[in-house]
Amino acid sequence: MAQATAVFDEAPLLERARAGDAEAFTELVQHYERRIYRLAKHITQNDEDAEDVLQETFLKAFEHLPGFQGNSKFYTWVTRIAVNEALMKLRKRKSDKTVPLDEPVDTGDELMVREIAVWEENAEEKYSRQEMNDILQKAVDGLKPDFRTVFVLRDIEELSTEETAEALGISVPAVKSRLLRARLQLREKLTRQFKRKGENIFDYL
């Protein structure tokens, strides 16, 4: 008989961590670090910057942990720190004018295919999975940072609208508006992409 997957209970670890238990905080880091890194990579589109964001996020979280009131989930709180750090990286990069914000990168994250569209078998026959993944990834990478961040939090990290609003420090209506615009822009980008290939994306959506 299959055993149910254990639910992660962060409350005891949080209590110990807030009391100064570094090992408890390390357990929290280990549980969330992959998600925070993935988020940072999606926003910065750069491995080195994502690593920096990951480190700075948890250093700041540990430093300010005694002031964390627990009014939101720990992950939501840490996500807000990570988003701020990642956006600071983007602003610094933009001011340096060394790397374009919309430079496409391949993260190899196949989750993008499942989140944006459900592809039928005939599409799989015409395009390799990697090719479709590349097309979708480039479309997401081409979104403006504000829209891309909301899209990543809602449709990839699967935060609720309220959690996304809290993480970004914006209103729920603003989240809904940005997410709608992000999805519309993605649909437009993908439509143009498939027209260049002589196909109609609406055949596969």
Q: What pLDDT shows up at residue 196?
A: 61
**pTM reported for the whole predicted model:** 0.62
**Residue 140, exposed/middle/buried by CB under 10 A (0-12, 13-18, 19+)?**
buried
Q: Which two tokens stand for residue 7?
A: 């639910």
Q: How far apart are CA 21 and CA 19, in angstroms?
A: 6
Q: Could you read off the pLDDT of 141-181 as tens digits, one per residue?
A: 888 888 999 998 988 888 888 989 988 889 999 999 888 88
Query: What does the pLDDT read at residue 145?
Result: 87
Amino acid symbol at 197: K
Higher pLDDT, residue 112 or 161: 161
C-alpha–C-alpha distance, residues 65 and 50, integer Å: 22
Dump pLDDT digits (tens) for 61-94: 998 888 888 778 898 899 999 999 998 988 887 7
188 or 82: which leads in pLDDT: 82
Where in the chain are all domains bearing CATH 1.10.1740.10? 9-100
State the architecture of 9-100 in CATH terms.
Orthogonal Bundle (1.10)
CATH 1.10.10.10 domain range(s) in the chain:
102-205
Structure tokens at 174: 């603003």
Structural contact between residues 50 and 40, judged by C-beta atoms closer than 8 angstroms: yes
Q: Under CATH, what is the fold of the domain 102-205? A: Arc Repressor Mutant, subunit A (1.10.10)
Question: Where are the alpha helices (H) located in 45-198, listed in sequence order?
Answer: 47-64, 74-96, 111-116, 121-126, 129-141, 145-151, 161-168, 172-196
Whether the per-residue pLDDT at 110 is higher than 90: the answer is no
